[in-house]
Structure 1
Amino acid sequence: MWLKILGSLLIVVAGTAMGFSVAARYAERPRQIRQLISCLSALKSHINYVAIPLPEALSQCTSGIVGPVADFFHTMSLLLLTNGWLTPQAAMDQALIESKQLVLNQPEREILAVFGANLGSMDREEQHKSLELVHEQLSRIQYEAEKLCEQNVKMYRYLGICSGLAIVIILV
């Protein structure tokens, strides 16, 4: 009897944890996109007005930001510093592969890949225009991600709890 109660409790807790885990990914994505937009805006000012080398600009654009987005830019900066032969696009691609904590979907990754291809290959004015375009695209994606977050966070939380309870009912 106690074993059934303990097993049922563990199943409900596991279902709830899975639901909250999926909901946390949906809640984290808009926050990371906001941080990405903030870092790219800082990078734009470092490129246009301060005119420092790209690895330094990448490491300085994350001031005040912690987490996976800051780690992504620091990784990219370190890759460019340690491997002088590496292009910004290759460094960004490698940093995207290495950063497992980023909760970015395919559209954001494609925007960053296009931005990485343009980074360092144009003059300041063209890079400024490219950064503006990336900012607009990421802002639109952020709005869509916030709408998805509002819709799905509660649903996945309830779905986790209810699926755990449904499994318990089926097994008992």
Structure 2
Amino acid sequence: MQLKIVILLLIVIICSFLGFQLSETVKLRVKHLSQMLNAVVYLQNEIFYSLTPLPEALVRVSNRKEKPISTFLQDISNLLYSSEVNNINSAFSKAIDKNKDELMLETDDYGVLLELSNSLGSTDLNGQKKIFEIAIRNLEDNLNQATEKAKKNVKMYRVLGVSMGLVIAIFLI
């Protein structure tokens, strides 16, 4: 009888833990997206106001950011300095593939970054400013959507985890 109670209690705890983990993933996306947006703004400032070349600007911005954003930016810079890639878009793509497990971003977020990288260096200074403005606006939109989603889903995932654990325990009684 005591063993059955312990097992049922473990089931409730494990399900609750899974619900809390899922809610943390949603919150982490908001954090990473916010940091990425901030990094793109810093990158824009480094390029346009300090006239820093892109690889060096990426290093400077990565030094101001926390992991995993700093690692992502550093990887792009390293790829641009090396001869592994032949364009900016390839560097971004490889860095995204390498850091996908640490970055809690979604396909739309990566799409914005790839659009930015695809357009960098292809127009004059005014065109580049517009490209950055579009990327920043798109990241802000994604951040607003992620924040709304997090407000709705964090509590739901937690309650759902606890509830599922209780339901399973009740069925096993």
Contact 2:16–2:165, Cα closer than 8 Å, also in 1: yes
- Paired with 1:151 and 1:162, the residues of 2 have a C-alpha distance of 17
TM-score, normalised on structure 2? 0.93
Q: 1:50 aligned to 2:50? A: yes
1:81-101: CA deviations, max 9, x gaps? 222643110010111111111
Greater alpha carbon shift after TM alignment, 62-71 vs 111-120 = 62-71
Match of 1:29 in 2: 29
Aligned pair count? 172
Instruction: List runs of 5+ in structure 1 lacking aligned partners.
Output: none
CA RMSD of the aligned region, Å?
A: 1.4
Match of 1:69 in 2: 69
Match of 1:83 in 2: 83
Contact 2:64–2:70, Cα closer than 8 Å, also in 1: no
| Cα offset, 1:58, TM superposition | 0.7
1:45-74: CA deviations, max 9, x gaps? 111122222111111113432122222111
Match of 1:16 in 2: 16
Which amino acid in the other structure matches residue 68 of structure 2? P
TM-score, normalised on structure 1? 0.94
- Paired with 1:113 and 1:119, the residues of 2 have a C-alpha distance of 10
Which amino acid in the other structure matches residue 42 of structure 1? Y
Instruction: List runs of 5+ in structure 2 lacking aligned partners.
Output: none
Instruction: State percent identity of aligned pairs.
Output: 31
Contact 1:79–1:86, Cα closer than 8 Å, also in 2: no
- Paired with 1:161 and 1:86, the residues of 2 have a C-alpha distance of 51
Which amino acid in the other structure matches residue 19 of structure 1? G
